[in-house]
A and B are shown apart, each in its own frame.
Chain A
């Protein structure tokens, strides 16, 4: 196995909340040593990284691939290569991936496919199938990192209670999209003065709060563990903050798109911005950034949903929701740092140690003995998303956007998986 010595980099480690200059040695797939003035040993390749950031490779808790099942527009290997290009070291497929990851066999298939992929790939399983609880225990045993509703809110509170209770017996997280299913039914946009004038079917922000409060109540009842999957509104954050204050085991994710865009971006019926959940108001966006800043959000997710350009070539309401975001996740967050909205550690935490700690993964941190899943990053490099092409062929809300942050090199388990030509 290759050995590397990275010298002179500025290490940014959200897990220890420290930024410092040091050299770092990689051996046997692990971070072997961190210190000043380390010398390259025999057979060790030295990588000079002065002036660059060395940080953990990203852990993305939510991406969909069109596998298993019919493979348009993006097979799992493409999704994994897109993740690699985006500086992601660990990718967790959302339960609705492919035809839906509802059986232990589906999880086993993903785990087996992951052996040949450049990044670590795991999966979440669907907690319910056809209105009944799915084989939660067997899916967890097959390697599912959590179970969840796969973005389809479960209106039946009794079923949610049973899922939280049953999964809690395995100490497993249950990931639920906080959305009142009835308020959201048939809607395509956030309810606001603008979207109503546009004549779009809309859902109010309070829909998120209502569902989050219901689910928090059921956590209290069952003692389960809940991830509020993709909080996007100030209303939802109110419920999250209150639930955390009550000491409940509740975590939350936020999609990177909603940190970057607001409903105005979709204001010209541009189907690239047809997302689920829909883009929210600027006030919601500000509240979400603040929640990331203060650490209320445990993980920022790419929410990568590859949608073919054909499926986007329709009027806004008829276009399939989704955007290819894997390659924009890191530049988007770094752009918020460049804008002075977040510190580098605040931006990196919810895509490294935040999600890793949540799921008990050893990566996502820079410490001796941890897996050598690392990035060398130039945070000041401007990039126009998609200008030089992207691995993912899906439509992206980030296309043409000027962002900051270029991954110069990345390692997964001590192996170089990305070394773009300069």
Chain B
């Protein structure tokens, strides 16, 4: 199978934020991801849609699942994939990030997948290099591929997510996953609820197009899905919450708590989980409720679709027909 050709002309050279997408983009990505999702369950998963292209996964922050997911996605599409775990090493040696970006650009990759601890870093790479860039998480700003895989997972269960009620629970203030998900869910007309202690909710979060709750039981009422976020333990030392025990008691997701939601309410988590803190282990592992592993599976498929779509607009892309 050669390069994919698409009925819809995907307009984005980069994927930097979920908010930059339109509903047609999302539909197109989901259709393609659906094909990959099925194929990924077959013995022969390999395609050559990105054959000859080089994809650099540039991770300045530690990551296991996102990096593995993008690596698998690129390899299944036939790209040459290089993982570059920078760990901020070059900038520690006095090099600016612009220098790092230009150095990488000189190696002529076709796609950059960037994770960085600073908001705006992925856009920065796209600007400096002119290379098609996918944001794999920039500080507390955005994580668009995570939001796409989350919504894709839901849409596989429901078809459309429009009109559904979804709660996102936990450390919203520091969560790029929450920001991207709110954008995408708003775009697709879902009703979004944000819930957490006031110290973990950004000011004016009610202006994001979501309703804000501090009481989890109230937030879960009649929800179709709930996504609980990882509580980063370093937040506790900053005095944002009194203790892990209190957080688990007030905001930890359990079967009992879930009774307020709809009977078939789906449970999500972007991972990695703190079992027993933000989610009870029995709920995380409940196959009737939890779609957490399905999110991971969806991740590879959606990232394959993203890589393909973005590559179709990449400046260095040469279509077979053009040769």
CA of A201 to CA of B141, assembled, Å: 10
The yes or no answer to B118 lying at the interface (CB within 8 A) is: yes
The yes or no answer to B34 lying at the interface (CB within 8 A) is: no
User: For the side of the interface on B, what is the size category?
Assistant: 20 to 34
Establish whether residues A313 and B119, one from each chain, have CB atoms under 8 Å apart when the complex forms.
Answer: no
Establish whether residues A315 and B118, one from each chain, have CB atoms under 8 Å apart when the complex forms.
Answer: yes
Flag A303-344 by CB within 8 Å of B: 1 or 0 each.
Answer: 000000011011111100000000000000000000000000
Flag B181-204 by CB within 8 Å of A: 1 or 0 each.
Answer: 000000000000000000000111
Question: Nearest B residue to A310 by beta-carbon distance?
Answer: B96
Establish whether residues B202 and A196, one from each chain, have CB atoms under 8 Å apart when the complex forms.
Answer: yes
The yes or no answer to B47 lying at the interface (CB within 8 A) is: no
CA of A192 to CA of B205, assembled, Å: 10
- Within the complex, which residue of A192, A193, A197, A315 is in contact with B120, where a contact is CB–CB below 8 Å? A315
The yes or no answer to A35 lying at the interface (CB within 8 A) is: no
Establish whether residues B203 and A191, one from each chain, have CB atoms under 8 Å apart when the complex forms.
Answer: yes
Establish whether residues B204 and A192, one from each chain, have CB atoms under 8 Å apart when the complex forms.
Answer: yes
Establish whether residues B141 and A198, one from each chain, have CB atoms under 8 Å apart when the complex forms.
Answer: yes
If A199-B119, A199-B179 touch, whether A315 touches B204 (CB-CB below 8 Å) is no
CA of A198 to CA of B75, assembled, Å: 32
Give A279 Cβ to nearest chain B Cβ, in Å: 15
The yes or no answer to B121 lying at the interface (CB within 8 A) is: yes
Name the residue among A192, A196, A315, A318 with the largest chain B CB count within 10 angstroms. Answer: A315
Number of A residues near B (Cβ < 8 Å) is: 20
The yes or no answer to B71 lying at the interface (CB within 8 A) is: no
The yes or no answer to B138 lying at the interface (CB within 8 A) is: yes
The yes or no answer to B276 lying at the interface (CB within 8 A) is: no
Establish whether residues A198 and B120, one from each chain, have CB atoms under 8 Å apart when the complex forms.
Answer: yes
Establish whether residues B203 and A315, one from each chain, have CB atoms under 8 Å apart when the complex forms.
Answer: no
- Within the complex, which residue of A193, A200, A268, A314 is in contact with B97, where a contact is CB–CB below 8 Å? A314
CA of A352 to CA of B124, assembled, Å: 40
Question: Nearest A residue to B128 by beta-carbon distance?
Answer: A313
Contacts of A314 in B (CB 8 A): 91, 96-98, 118, 124
Question: How many CB-defined contacts (below 8 Å) exist between A and B?
Answer: 68
Question: Nearest A residue to B125 by beta-carbon distance?
Answer: A315
Flag A287-317 by CB within 8 Å of B: 1 or 0 each.
Answer: 0000000000000000000000011011111
Establish whether residues A317 and B204, one from each chain, have CB atoms under 8 Å apart when the complex forms.
Answer: no
Establish whether residues A193 and B124, one from each chain, have CB atoms under 8 Å apart when the complex forms.
Answer: no
CA of A200 to CA of B176, assembled, Å: 11
Contacts of A192 in B (CB 8 A): 204
The yes or no answer to A269 lying at the interface (CB within 8 A) is: yes
CA of A200 to CA of B118, assembled, Å: 8
Q: Is the interface of A mostly helix, strand, loop or mixed?
A: loop
If A192-B204, A315-B121, A317-B120 touch, whether A199 touches B97 (CB-CB below 8 Å) is no
Give A148 Cβ to nearest chain B Cβ, in Å: 29
Contacts of B91 in A (CB 8 A): 314, 318
The 8 A-B pairs at the shortest CB distance, nearest first, are namely: A269-B120, A199-B141, A313-B98, A199-B140, A315-B118, A199-B119, A313-B96, A196-B202
Contacts of B96 in A (CB 8 A): 310-311, 313-314
18 contacts between A and B (CB under 8 A): A193-B204, A196-B204, A200-B139, A200-B141, A201-B140, A204-B203, A269-B120, A269-B124, A313-B97, A313-B99, A314-B96, A314-B124, A315-B118, A315-B119, A315-B120, A317-B118, A317-B119, A318-B97
Q: A193-214: which residues lie under 8 A (CB-CB) from chain B?
A: 193, 196-201, 204
Question: Nearest B residue to A312 by beta-carbon distance?
Answer: B96
CA of A318 to CA of B99, assembled, Å: 14
- Within the complex, which residue of A196, A310, A317 is in contact with B139, where a contact is CB–CB below 8 Å? A317
Question: Nearest A residue to B19 by beta-carbon distance?
Answer: A197
Establish whether residues B139 and A199, one from each chain, have CB atoms under 8 Å apart when the complex forms.
Answer: yes
Contacts of B118 in A (CB 8 A): 314-318
The yes or no answer to B76 lying at the interface (CB within 8 A) is: no
Give B210 Cβ to nearest chain A Cβ, in Å: 12
Contacts of A310 in B (CB 8 A): 96, 98-99
Establish whether residues A197 and B98, one from each chain, have CB atoms under 8 Å apart when the complex forms.
Answer: no
The yes or no answer to B84 lying at the interface (CB within 8 A) is: no
Establish whether residues B139 and A193, one from each chain, have CB atoms under 8 Å apart when the complex forms.
Answer: no
Give A190 Cβ to nearest chain B Cβ, in Å: 11
Question: Nearest A residue to B176 by beta-carbon distance?
Answer: A199
CA of A18 to CA of B97, assembled, Å: 52
Give B112 Cβ to nearest chain A Cβ, in Å: 14
Contacts of A311 in B (CB 8 A): 96
CA of A191 to CA of B202, assembled, Å: 9
The yes or no answer to B158 lying at the interface (CB within 8 A) is: no
Give B33 Cβ to nearest chain A Cβ, in Å: 25
Q: B69-99: which residues lie under 8 A (CB-CB) from chain A?
A: 91, 96-99
Contacts of A193 in B (CB 8 A): 203-204, 207
The yes or no answer to B116 lying at the interface (CB within 8 A) is: yes
Contacts of A268 in B (CB 8 A): 123
CA of A192 to CA of B96, assembled, Å: 28
Establish whether residues A198 and B98, one from each chain, have CB atoms under 8 Å apart when the complex forms.
Answer: no
The yes or no answer to B6 lying at the interface (CB within 8 A) is: no
CA of A201 to CA of B119, assembled, Å: 9
Contacts of A196 in B (CB 8 A): 173, 202-205
Give B122 Cβ to nearest chain A Cβ, in Å: 9
Q: A250-272: which residues lie under 8 A (CB-CB) from chain B?
A: 268-269
The yes or no answer to B208 lying at the interface (CB within 8 A) is: yes
The yes or no answer to B224 lying at the interface (CB within 8 A) is: no
Flag B118-144 by CB within 8 Å of A: 1 or 0 each.
Answer: 111101100010000000001111100
Question: Nearest B residue to A191 by beta-carbon distance?
Answer: B203
Q: B149-200: which residues lie under 8 A (CB-CB) from chain A?
A: 173, 176, 179
If A311-B96, A313-B99, A314-B96 touch, whether A199 touches B142 (CB-CB below 8 Å) is yes
Contacts of A317 in B (CB 8 A): 118-120, 139
Question: Nearest A residue to B173 by beta-carbon distance?
Answer: A196
Contacts of B140 in A (CB 8 A): 199-201
- Within the complex, which residue of B119, B203, B207, B208 is in contact with A200, where a contact is CB–CB below 8 Å? B119
Contacts of B176 in A (CB 8 A): 199
Establish whether residues B208 and A315, one from each chain, have CB atoms under 8 Å apart when the complex forms.
Answer: no
Give A365 Cβ to nearest chain B Cβ, in Å: 45
Flag A163-177 by CB within 8 Å of B: 1 or 0 each.
Answer: 000000000000000
CA of A193 to CA of B119, assembled, Å: 15
Give B104 Cβ to nearest chain A Cβ, in Å: 14
